[in-house]
Amino acid sequence: MAAVAEHKKKISAWRALGLALGNRKTGFMLLFGFASGLPFALFLGTLFAWLTEADVDLETMGIFSLIGLAYAFQFLWSPLIDKVDIPLLRKLGRRKQWIIPMQLLLGAILVTMSVLEPRTQLGMFSLLAGIGAFASATQDIAINAWRIDVADEVATIDILSTVYQMGYRLSSLVGGALGLIIAARIGWPETYMMMGGILLFVGAVGLFAPNAEGAAELTEGDEQVRALRKAGELVPSVRNRALAAVALLWALAIGAVLAFMIMSMTYAPEDRPNPTDFTLTWGPWIIVATIILPALIAGWLSSQQKQGRNLLAEDAPAVGGTAYALDHLYRALVLPLVEFVGRLGWSLVLILAVVLTYRICDAIWGTFAYPFYLGELQYTNDDVAFASKFFGVGAIIAGLALGGLMLTTIGRMATLLIGGILAALTNLLYADMAIGGANMQAFSDAIGFTYLIEQVPGIGDADLARLTITIAFENLAIGIAGAAYIAWLSSIVSKKFSAVQYALLSSLTLLVGTLGRGALGEMIENQGYYDVFILTTWIGLGAAVLVCIEWWRVSRAKDDAGIVAPEAGAAEPAE
């Protein structure tokens, strides 16, 4: 009987997967994922190849790299995306009012850049690239929120998250390796004009994407503000003091980032602040000011409500003017944190621990991958391009597909754990490569992979097979772990505040990797790559232990609430 029940469960999971992949929302998710990844590849990767060919100096290219801060600190303006409506565009939908204009703006920027000459029109070129990076990061905030909002029992958050990453990875291939190939044949201006045309097309098609909300949600903002003055809510004076503290902290953080950007763009080269020093010095304080301290304030506010202190005894009258504006600002800036802390309590500490450790190895390692391949292992550019860009991207997409299947068949937390363990253990493959790669070579020979790669014209040999199979296994594991991680991250935020809460968590993932690169680089210099790969293996396994604890917490919370665990592939609430 148990075998029959398990068979039925598998059939239902496969059927659920088929229904999800055939859903209209899934198709638009693939399109939006592609649109999300393409600008990142074009502004922070391929663009530097164009600037190099245009003989732009390295100092100037270093300034261009600053636009990456738009992605690292995107959570700073996420409250604006979550709660502010754009005049005349609100009818597009709560999220699409931001997604579509940003896609059209990005397309127009790329087309405009294509008619400029980088060397002689560098000022306008850099301005457009900077605006494009902020528009791209803004689009990412809205797309992530759209994915969470539209998820349902058919197009589950797990499937949508996996499909999003597939689109993102495909766009990195199109904007990266394929962009280089196209530019070598038709030129950079024509290539960027083509990419701009693609984004303009995506923006036009995106108009027909389903909206996340119904008609009743058109007044959601006013309803949430009115609810703040109901009996049992915090008195306005307490809320306003908390708002003032959080607003001051966020203003200081935004001011620090803007001051750094202005100094970098306007000061003489010798007086410009160092981007790495800024990230290492100010990055932690920005996290403290915008996440940790506001979370503590939100925790205090939540405790006041639970203890029945500083609450309205009866409904307060509706207000206008300044008080109404403050209520709206509180709803945008503080209420998402109050909801997060109030719903999760001390469990938020465990969740943040998983966020800070689960993808840290991948986030840090990316900076040192090419020095390892090209410098330490002495591979050529063609070798690395084949193994990493073409074969490697295919392996990531295969891993995402496998991860999506696992999410549907065995569930989210099991996939998160397996993906984390596999991603950690692939560091041991690189440790073997660091000391000669004898084990990877023997494995490649044994399964016939070496013979297969030797058939690649011009570059195929046993050494390339060893590198390719190592990258393939790592990227396969990254795909599985990435699919599970984004799905899990999306599942723990509230649909009411999805833009702010998701942006905060995802930015933490990015920032912690940035902050850890300096220490890892120093360790590579002092001890070599082998010891670093052993360390990152242990970090990854430690993250897997935290996932086990989180799995236990989620299961216990369902038991306490009397919720029957859903079958694998069934949608779980995002709130």
* pTM, entire model: 0.78
In which residue are the tokens 């998402």 written?
A: 336
Q: Specify the CATH number for the domain of residue 514.
A: 1.20.1250.20
Kindly state whether residue 443 falls inside one of the protein's structural domains: yes
Which residues partner with 234 through β-bridges?
311
pLDDT confidence of 143, banded at 50, 70, 90?
very high
| CA-based nearest residue to 510, from 115, 70, 207 | 70
Query: In terms of domains, do 40 and 155 share one?
Result: yes
Query: In terms of domains, do 307 and 378 share one?
Result: no
- CA end-to-end span of the chain, whole Å? 35
Half-sphere exposure of 385 (CA within 13 A, CB side): 9
91, two tokens:
């009818």
> Mean pLDDT over all residues of the chain?
82
Query: In terms of domains, do 316 and 434 share one?
Result: no
Task: Find the domain containing 123 and state its range.
Answer: 13-213
| Residue 276 confidence (pLDDT) | 64
pLDDT confidence of 543, banded at 50, 70, 90?
very high
Query: In terms of domains, do 295 and 209 share one?
Result: no
List, for residues 50-96, the tens digit of each pLDDT value.
877 777 765 566 666 667 677 777 877 888 887 778 888 888 888 89
- Taking residue 500's Cβ as centre, other Cβ atoms within 10 Å add up to 28
Higher pLDDT, 373 or 560: 373
List, for residues 155-189, the tens digit of each pLDDT value.
888 889 889 989 998 888 888 778 878 888 888 89
Query: In terms of domains, do 155 and 17 share one?
Result: yes
pLDDT confidence of 569, banded at 50, 70, 90?
very low
Query: In terms of domains, do 528 and 404 share one?
Result: yes
Query: In terms of domains, do 184 and 221 share one?
Result: no
- Is the pLDDT at 430 greater than 70? The verdict is yes
Query: In terms of domains, do 386 and 323 share one?
Result: no
Choosing from 274, 303, 333, the residue where a domain stops is 333
Choosing from 290, 313, 333, the residue where a domain stops is 333
Higher pLDDT, 362 or 573: 362
| Residue 514 confidence (pLDDT) | 60
How many structural domains are present in the chain? 3
Query: In terms of domains, do 169 and 60 share one?
Result: yes
> Are 280 and 298 within 8 A, CB to CB?
no
| Residue 122 confidence (pLDDT) | 75
Choosing from 157, 185, 213, the residue where a domain stops is 213
pLDDT confidence of 544, banded at 50, 70, 90?
very high
- In this prediction, residues 296-301 reach a mean pLDDT of 90
| Residue 35 confidence (pLDDT) | 94
> Are 382 and 462 within 8 A, CB to CB?
no
pLDDT confidence of 226, banded at 50, 70, 90?
confident
Kindly state whether residue 3 falls inside one of the protein's structural domains: no
